[in-house]
A and B are shown apart, each in its own frame.
Chain A
Amino acid sequence: MAFDSFGAFIVMEGHGPYVWACYFVFFLLMGAVMFWSLRQRRFVIAQQRRRTDSTPVRAESPAGASFTRIEPSQD
């Protein structure tokens, strides 16, 4: 141990705030990326499952265009 006490370890002769801030941000960001990546995969799996459960309705042939005018009724 390079420090005499736990208190000295935290303070680090006045450099504590800088060192601990760096370690905090490092773990925060790495943790966030890891957590986010895990959640994203779970989300994608759930999404894919929903997609396979409900097989999309497929149109047998493209709907023919009639170009009939549509008159919006006013009543």
Chain B
Amino acid sequence: MSEPLLQAVNLECERDDRVLFRDLSFSILPGSLIRVEGPNGSGKTTLLRILAGLNDSYSGDLLWRGKSRNGYREEFLRNMLYLGHRPGIKPLLTPMENLRALMDGRRLLPDKILWQALEGTGLGGFQAVPCRNLSAGQQRRVALARLLIADEPLWILDEVFTAIDIQGVAALERLLIERVENGGAIVVTTHHDLRLPSMQRVTLGGGDGYGY
């Protein structure tokens, strides 16, 4: 067995007097994909935000490579990539500027690479158009371009397939599979029916809903 990157131990999260999940434990291993499933409102996004370190109203432990994550925050953040519902794209900037701004905090890459990454997500020719003139799907593709150049071992992706067309979804699936085969660890939520080999599932909303 490989050493787990991130481990959730007895996670519990309560929101507005409602228990979203409790006693949730799982390990995120390198070379594996975890799909978080559950109906609307079951706390998928909340769980992902907790894993990413955006939401800290939970009890239980999160271990980064066996040690408490909160003590190794910087190392954790350096090795984790999170894409949320909101793609982190500024409508006033061009895809190129957006990608540059997002990457500048993590990894300095030459313009040529960023340009290629945007081409790789089907945005060839749009690199210099302000993002507000792009469609919702195209804006998401700008954010997804990061996946083509990211070297973080752990990816946490919330609803990656939203607003992406059929060909795009197929290509993105291939990207994820390839990443996992090369040892990356990925956590996703999606309503899209994902068919990947070695996929683990974490199911939320299993009956124990209201905590009264």
Contacts and interface: CB of A to CB of B under 8 A. Distances in A.
Interface of A: 55-56, 58-62
Contacts of B39: 62
Interface stretch (B134-142, B153-161, B202-210): B202-210
Interface of B: 39, 205, 207, 209-210, 212
Contact of B212 (A58, A60, A61, A62): A58
13 contacts: A55-B212, A56-B210, A56-B212, A58-B209, A58-B210, A58-B212, A59-B209, A59-B210, A60-B207, A61-B207, A62-B39, A62-B205, A62-B209
Interface of A is mostly: loop
Contacts of A56: 210, 212
Nearest to A52: B212
Contacts of B209: 58-59, 62
Nearest to A58: B210
A74 to B, nearest CB: 33
| A-B pairs with lowest CB-CB distance, top 5 | A56-B212, A58-B210, A62-B39, A61-B207, A58-B212
B21 to A, nearest CB: 14
A4 B127 CA distance: 93
A55 B186 CA distance: 42
Given A55-B212, A58-B212, A60-B207, 10 more contacts: A56-B210, A56-B212, A58-B209, A58-B210, A59-B209, A59-B210, A61-B207, A62-B39, A62-B205, A62-B209
Contacts of B207: 60-61
A55 B212 CA distance: 8
A22 B130 CA distance: 65
Contacts of A55: 212
B114 to A, nearest CB: 42
A50 to B, nearest CB: 14
Contacts of B205: 62
Contacts of B212: 55-56, 58
Contacts of A60: 207
**Which of A56, A60, A62 counts the most B-chain CB atoms under 10 A from its CB?**
A62
A58 B210 CA distance: 7
B30 to A, nearest CB: 35
A42 B209 CA distance: 30
Contacts of A61: 207
B85 to A, nearest CB: 21
A7 to B, nearest CB: 61
A58 B209 CA distance: 9
A61 B207 CA distance: 6
